[in-house]
């Protein structure tokens, strides 16, 4: 997997405890075209401690260009930003 660390837009659901579950992500490719990727299922999620805050690392599986791929998105709790970390 290649590390990108690129900000993305995410449609997500949060449960009562504040655990995020991404549903769809929107990314821009090199041609400035936006793509919406539906997440098929979550492989695993992990809560990481970074300095004094928490980051949710979520490994997902979705269909990109008609190929099933695994990718990792991260949700930074204090800033409420989503990052496409690895693909």
For every residue of 9-60, DSSP letters joined together read EEEEEE-TT--EEEEEEEEE-TTS-EEEEEEEEEEEEEEEEETTEEEEEEEE
Distance of CA 63 to the CA centre of its chain: 14
Residues 13-44: pLDDT tens digits? 999 998 999 999 998 877 888 989 999 999 99
pTM of the complete model: 0.88
How much of the chain, in percent, has pLDDT values that exceed 70?
Answer: 100
Q: Is the pLDDT of residue 46 over 90?
A: yes
The CA distances from residue 40 to 23, 58, 77, in Å, are 8, 13, 23
């Amino acid at each position: 997997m290649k590390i990108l660390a690129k900000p993305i837009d995410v449609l997500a659901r949060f449960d009562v405890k504040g655990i995020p579950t991404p549903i769809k992500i929107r990314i821009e490719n090199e041609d400035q075209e936006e793509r919406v990727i539906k997440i098929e299922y979550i492989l695993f999620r992990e809560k990481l401690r970074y300095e004094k805050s928490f980051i949710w690392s979520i490994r997902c599986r979705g269909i990109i260009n008609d190929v099933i791929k695994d990718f990792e998105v991260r949700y930074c709790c204090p800033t409420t930003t989503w990052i496409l970390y690895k693909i």
